Structure 1
């Protein structure tokens, strides 16, 4: 498997579950990012202890307080990231929790403009939204054993957002895609889930390393299967 190759990665919801494991596995790669920005609402809280332990062992981890529902918090987080990048751009934004306004878009554009690579990829500039199979309108008849209507609607909206981002930012050289991580054994997924956090994240990072032009705006699961949405 080719390496992800991103110099800088930002992960939201990074204090537990999929977000925390994304940070852990990024750091464990042979070519880890120069910067991993690990964002969460309460980095100093009890749930942030594992992330703080990681950060204490890895100087390339920057813990950032970010509440995606607060425009002021998003703006402050973007400023913190920009200060650390010192003029370079942000290569990869993984929206694992919440949705951003356009605060990080200038940093993604900067990375794309500075890249010498042709086409789209996660090592150049990319937005990856963590979605769900339950957000697929096409597959409702197959997945409605678990109604979860409000969750479905929010993920369906996220899928539409991703498609719009893909169309809007293509000329900027920014790849945009959405990933279904599987039914994962997390606090949210529960212990009856059939995919471990480790398996899910290994799959996600493997998929991200293969993405290019034709994948922007598409919906994939953690095994790389293309899904209808």
Structure 2
């Protein structure tokens, strides 16, 4: 299978890439800087998911039909009420919401997605309106809630594909911090298993496959 992953140079994205390559899968990654390693089944492309032109150029360079698209690139700007800035909010929306939407749309328009393709938006339980108790970042939570709407809307449009939001757990990464209980490899292993067994669209689940309320 051909997997496409954004934000793959560190954290969960890097763990996903390494595991998939070890399983013999073919992977194309989109990164803003560089990858820490090379592999014969790995194609490395540049993409800035906050920039629609960069997204178009990235998609045009994907030369194999996509079985699985993982929108993993994200940004966490720790701004709390009442000190949230317009800049923080806009960047969060560009990267966490608009980026995934525009990437999916561009892949669809350029006919890069296979019939039955699985489109996975890496969301967060912090974007669940039902489960809201608090947040370390207003822009992050709001942009992830909006990403969940992207998932739901596109699940209705792309009837011959699967579109889901996945909460990866609280993971020990640059974004998750060192107090997080999960290692990136644990989260990534769960996410891959969930994707391979996926048979529903328009759902919000975690890395173990358990349903999360919107």
Q: 1:149 and 2:134 equivalent?
A: no
CA distance in 1: counterparts of 2:52 and 2:131, whole angstroms: 34
- Flag the structure with higher helix content: 1
TM-score (norm 1): 0.78
Report deviation, 1:75: 1.2
**RMSD over aligned Cα, in angstroms?**
1.2
Q: 1:158 and 2:147 equivalent?
A: yes
Report deviation, 1:38: 1.1
- Flag the structure with higher strand content: 2
TM-score (norm 2): 0.83
CA distance in 1: counterparts of 2:52 and 2:146, whole angstroms: 20
The count of residues paired between Structure 1 and Structure 2 equals 185
2:80 aligned residue: none
Q: 1:71 and 2:74 equivalent?
A: no
1:103 aligned residue: 106
Is this contact kept in 1: 2:167–2:207, CA < 8 A? yes
Q: 1:207 and 2:198 equivalent?
A: no
| One of 128, 140, 144 as aligned partner of 2:132 | 140
Unaligned runs of 5+ in 2: 74-94
Q: 1:60 and 2:37 equivalent?
A: no
2:87 aligned residue: none
Per-residue deviation, residues 123-155 of structure 1 (Å, max 9, x unmatched): x301100000000000013xx1x3421110000
* Secondary structure of residue in 2 paired with 1:14: coil
Is this contact kept in 1: 2:3–2:28, CA < 8 A? yes
2:207 aligned residue: 222
